[in-house]
């Protein structure tokens, strides 16, 4: 697939069939994440890769919309290291770009993925931070659930010219 095809085909996949994602593919996803742009090249991202089903159960207790983890093979928690950011708040956009790269690379590799928002929900952030034993300066942005897709939603054209403004509003 070319880049525009991958962008069009990327869908949130919440249903998975049994099967394992190879460590090689997980590393490809992480390399894609770390190829994202960051403000002043701070690269303040950190990633926690989880495959343990007991951890998934605990994550589902923390995040009310993470039920798909029950059948996922892997989860990547994207975090921002606030000690590395150039200015407060930059980690959000930078880690968001890394997340998008993971989602697009997963689509290219035939892996189902969905972005589960954690930030700015303080209860989810605190629970996940405790569970993963994150240092205080590392903030969880999201959980990316990964598995072999058991669903293949159709592409959706979301282009809306009414939301485009040229030069001025």
Q: What is the pLDDT of residues 100-147, one digit of tens each?
A: 999 999 999 999 999 999 999 999 999 999 999 999 999 999 999 999
Residues in the chain: 169
Among 3.40.109.10, 3.30.930.10, 3.30.450.90, 2.40.160.40, name the CATH number for the domain at 18-148.
3.40.109.10
Alpha carbon distance 121, 133 (integer Å): 18
> Residue 1's pLDDT is what?
85
- Domain coordinates of the chain in residue numbers? 18-148
**pTM score:** 0.97
Q: What percent of the chain has pLDDT over 70?
A: 100
- The string over 19-33, giving b where at least 16 C-beta atoms fall within 10 Å of a residue's C-beta and e elsewhere, is eebeeebbebbbebb
To which residue do tokens 């282009």 refer? 159
30: tokens are 């992480």
Max intra-chain CA distance, the chain: 52
Higher pLDDT, 87 or 61: 61
Alpha carbon distance 138, 33 (integer Å): 17
């Amino acid at each position: 697939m070319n880049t525009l095809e991958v962008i069009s085909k990327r869908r949130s996949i919440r249903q998975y069939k049994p099967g394992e994602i190879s460590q090689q593919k997980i590393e490809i996803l992480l390399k894609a994440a770390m190829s994202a742009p960051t403000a002043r090249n701070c690269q303040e991202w950190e990633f926690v890769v989880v495959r343990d089903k007991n951890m998934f159960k605990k994550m589902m207790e923390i995040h009310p919309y993470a039920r798909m983890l029950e059948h996922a093979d892997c989860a990547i928690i994207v975090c921002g290291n606030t000690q590395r950011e150039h200015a407060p708040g930059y980690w959000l956009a930078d880690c968001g770009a890394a997340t998008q790269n993971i989602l697009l690379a997963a689509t290219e590799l035939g892996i189902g993925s969905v972005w589960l928002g954690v930030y700015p929900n303080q209860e989810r952030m605190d629970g996940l931070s405790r569970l993963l034993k994150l240092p205080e300066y590392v903030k969880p942005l999201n959980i990316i659930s990964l598995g072999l897709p058991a669903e293949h939603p159709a592409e959706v054209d979301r282009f809306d010219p009414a939301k485009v403004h040229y030069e001025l509003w």
